[in-house]
Amino acid sequence: MFRDTSMDYLTKEERSEILKKNQQLTDEEFLAMDDTEFRARVRERGHHTLEIQVYHAAYRNKKLNPDQADYAKRLLRLWEQKGLSKDLPEYRYVSFLIDSADKLARGEAVDLTPYKPVPVTKEMEDNFFTIVKERRSVREFKDIDVPDEVIDKVLEAGLWAAHGCNIQSIRYVVVREKNEPGLFKGADVPGGPVHLVILQDMRCYRANSFTPLRNRLLDAGAAGQNIVLAAHAAGLEGVWLTFPNEEFCERLRKKFNLPDYIRLVTYVDVGYGDQTPHPPLRLDVKDAILGRF
């Protein structure tokens, strides 16, 4: 049975055991590891051993230690031995970080200007806040098919959400109600024509067993929020829904043949909306700020 370990329920002894084990992983263990866990470890080590250090040193014109990238270099050597594609995003990104760390170790500058975001114009700012405020939970839909490309664009926005330690655990199942009528019966509303189920591959968190349970769930929440905003931006409407009980989740798990390391976290229904609810008005921001020091 897959164990959902996190700092929240590990004993002190278990924690130090995991930490020791992580630091002493042998090449053989890395080579035997499933690709999902290995790739998550590359992302996590890239983040913790290089990302923060490289950007800090580049910004402050500081030198890095020549051995700063050694662990990441070892992981990329193992990556090649495992036969993973060099086109995968973590290989490309960690290669960039290694290259930058080596430059900084030699006292050379790292040019980050190509990565400068497009300047946000007043119009873009206004559009953003319009999307945020005019996104509504819509629970009635027109009988119009949503193209796969639109769904993929929305789900991609979920993958671009912030994610603790860049572990990237988010996965999806997309279900069109017309293909699986009644599968989502039991929720408090009939739901939309397309169900976007947000899952997490919990094997990714072996890369950092100390990720608090709270952060693991927030990783999925951040994806969910990007998804509802992106859906509205892409001309869809929808509603974030709640799995009503464990039987509901088990029904989906069985239907999609999901192994136990895949966690069903939440789901969002989308389609072309046929309802324009009055916005449920929000607290005044002054009332929400409990302190300002």
How many whole angstroms separate alpha carbon 95 and alpha carbon 69?
10
CA dist 234 to 28, 77, 99, 223, Å?
A: 46, 41, 37, 16
How many whole angstroms separate alpha carbon 58 and alpha carbon 225?
32
- How many positions of this chain bind ligand FMN (CB under 6 A)? 10
How many whole angstroms separate alpha carbon 131 and alpha carbon 125?
10
Distance from the Cα of residue 161 to its chain's centroid: 6
Choose between 147 and 280: whose C-beta lies nearer to ligand FMN.
Answer: 280
Residues 191-230 that bind ligand FMN (CB under 6 A): none
The mark string for 104-123 relative to ligand FMN (x by CB under 6 A, - otherwise) is --------------------
Yes or no: say if 274 and 141 are a contact pair by the CB < 8 Å rule. yes
Residues contacting residue 173 through CB under 8 Å, at least 6 positions apart: 197, 199, 252, 256, 258
Choose between 139 and 206: whose C-beta lies nearer to ligand FMN.
Answer: 139
Pick the piece of the chain touching ligand FMN (CB under 6 A) from 68-76, 114-122, 123-131, 237-245.
237-245
**What are residue 236's phi and psi, to 5 degrees?**
-95, 165
Choice from 194, 239, 262, 264 touching ligand FMN (CB under 6 A): 239
The mark string for 70-109 relative to ligand FMN (x by CB under 6 A, - otherwise) is ----------------------------------------
Choose between 120 and 189: whose C-beta lies nearer to ligand FMN.
Answer: 189
137 binds ligand FMN (CB under 6 A): yes
- Contact residues: ligand FMN, CB under 6 A: 136-137, 139, 188-189, 239-242, 280
